[in-house]
A = this chain, B = another copy of it.
Amino acid sequence: MQISSRFTIAIHMLACMDVFKEEYKITSDFLASSINVNPVIIRKILSQLKDAGLIEVKRGPGGAVIAKPLNEITFFDVYQSVDCIEENTLFHFHENPNPDCPVGKNIHRVLDDKLLRIQAAMEQELRSITLADMNADLQKYLG
C-alpha cells in the first residue's frame, strides 16, 4: 500500500498558499479547485496543518496563511501533520507469530530495530527537504 495522498495534497496546498498569498484569499474552495478534490478533504487537511502549527486558518472571513518561514517547514513536518503513518509503524507486522516456535517467539526482537532503521532513513530524507526548496523550484516554472 501507499502513503496517503493527503501528503501530496498538503504539500500542494502549502505551495498554493505561498504562491497566491498576495493575489487571492486562500479558501478551501480555492485550494480544492487547484488540486481537484472535494473541499471537505481540503478542510480536513487544513485542520491538521493548523493543529500542527504550520498554518493559521480564519473562521468567519475565511482564509489560510502559512505561519512560519518556508525554510523552517520540512516535508517531515507536513508528513507528520497529516498523519499518514502512525509513529513507528511504516511496516505492518503480522499480528500473532507462534510463541511456541523458536523463530516465531523471537522474530520481533530481531526485526523491529531493522524496520525502524529503514523507516528512519526515509524520515531523515523527509526532514532534509523544506517548503523553501520546493517553492524555489516552483518559481522556475512560473516565470
Contacts and interface: CB of A to CB of B under 8 A. Distances in A.
A57 interface: no
A44 B60 CA distance: 55
Interface string A74-114: 01000000001100011111111110011111110111001
A5 B4 CA distance: 17
A134 B114 contact: yes
A117 B101 CA distance: 39
A78 to B, nearest CB: 12
Contacts of A7: 91-92
Contacts of A3: 1, 90-92
Contacts of A90: 2-3
A129 interface: yes
A64 interface: no
B106 A138 contact: yes
Contact of A118 (B12, B36, B103, B122): B122
Contact of A33 (B98, B105, B114, B129): B98
10 contacts: A1-B3, A2-B91, A8-B93, A8-B111, A12-B104, A35-B94, A103-B138, A106-B142, A114-B129, A114-B134
Q: Which 9 A-B pairs have the closest CB atoms?
A: A121-B125, A1-B1, A2-B92, A122-B122, A34-B101, A36-B96, A106-B141, A5-B92, A5-B94
